[in-house]
Structure 1
Amino acid sequence: MKQLALLTACISALALAPLASAQTAEKAPAKPTAQKAAPKKPAARKTTRAKAAAGGAAAAAVVPQGVKWDCELGNHLYIDGDMPRAEVITLNWKGANHKLPRQTTVTGADRYYDPQSGLDLVVIPSKAMLFDKRAGQRLTDECQTEAMRAGEAAPTQAGALRAPVVAPLLVPQKN
């Protein structure tokens, strides 16, 4: 019963609303009304992927830390962290920092992969390569440090585990 009374009150209020507005329109003096500007919509928040794709001023604000690796086609990447021992390194690529955790491999190469960004860094003794697993492409290749260009091997975990060479294995015996 109460619902029926409430429904009747709502219907009558809606029916009388146009009459009330018509009466107030007749009483109000005719003034030119200024058009109000449409309210501004709040700017949409950019996702991390959109920020990385934009690569604009936000990416330029990140100062690269770590060792600079020069790559083919004028690309550069910076690696911060102790590569032979650290479980997570920081990779600065195209002005953005990415945390890459170490992955186990059976080949002896060092691999750092972050599933969130899709970046996959593979380091072998002669060079490093950076892949984008999401796009399925190699981003850069032939990455080397100054020391590597001078003839040293890359700072890999497999290299750090090897015993330092103090004497060759096959030394002629003096008799």
Structure 2
Amino acid sequence: MKHLVLAACIGAFSLTTATAVMAQEPAKKPTAAKKKSSTKKKAAAGTAAAAGAAAAVTPTGEKWQCELGNSLYISGDMLRDEILTVHWQGRDYKLPRQSTVTGADRYYDARTGLDLVVIPGKAMLFNKNLGQRLADDCQNAAMQAGAAAPTQAGGLRAPVGAPLLVTPPGGPTIQPQQAQQPDATQQSAAPKQ
């Protein structure tokens, strides 16, 4: 009796597995057909990407060499343009100028998160969306030769040799103490009677 129950269980198990295998075989054939069509689509997309990459190989603008072998290209005039085009890793990004209180030139696009900060010694590229510094110590050819960055903030600064306070031609020089309390100093200097 035990053998009969065991044989029935084995027969039922083999029947269900055979049915499951038969049901899966027709499903495998369309998947293979889908794989072939998807590989064709991927090949076509790869060709289009290769064509796009070939177009991205020739970026426009001035090359800025960064540390770790990275480089970026900047199109536009930092002294007067309000929007610069930055070519980074095969793509062009339009970055509008942002006002700063530090004197650095900053170009930031909130949609992409790219943030280009240019100070007299170098430029840095950040991705604010990811919280990463993408490129650091970027310099163009003139900066590598010892010049300062071509920034608007640098162009607005006074030359080193120029004095910060200049008296107008023919105008009197006002002393700070006289300007604040001219009558009080004269009265306090006079003796009391």
- 1:58 matched residue in structure 2: 52
Percent of residue pairs bearing the same amino acid type = 64
Q: 1:105 and 2:89 equivalent?
A: no
Contact 1:114 1:120 survives alignment (8 Å): yes
Q: Amino acid of the residue matched to residue 118 of structure 2?
A: V
Q: Whose RCO is larger (CA < 8 A, sep 6+)?
A: 1
- 2:67 matched residue in structure 1: 72
* TM-score, structure 2 as length reference: 0.57
User: Per the alignment, do residues 115 and 60 of structure 1 end up closer, same or farther by CA in structure 2, a change over 3 Å counting?
Assistant: farther
What SS class does the counterpart of residue 139 from structure 1 fall into?
Answer: strand
Write out the 4+ residue segments of structure 1 that deviate beyond 4 Å after TM superposition: 35-41
Alignment of 1:8-47 (within 5 A): none
1:84 positional shift = 1.2
1:164 positional shift = 4.8
Q: Which of 62, 83, 90 lines up with 2:85 in the alignment?
A: 90
- Give, in whole Å, the separation in 1 of the partners of 2:147 and 2:159: 13
- Give, in whole Å, the separation in 2 of the partners of 1:168 and 1:87: 28
* TM-score, structure 1 as length reference: 0.62
Contact 1:103 1:110 survives alignment (8 Å): yes
User: Per the alignment, do residues 56 and 122 of structure 1 end up closer, same or farther by CA in structure 2, a change over 3 Å counting?
Assistant: farther
Unaligned 5+ runs, structure 1: 1-34, 44-54, 170-175
What SS class does the counterpart of residue 148 from structure 1 fall into?
Answer: helix
Contact 1:83 1:155 survives alignment (8 Å): yes
Q: Amino acid of the residue matched to residue 155 of structure 1?
A: P
Q: 1:114 and 2:109 equivalent?
A: yes
1:86 positional shift = 0.4
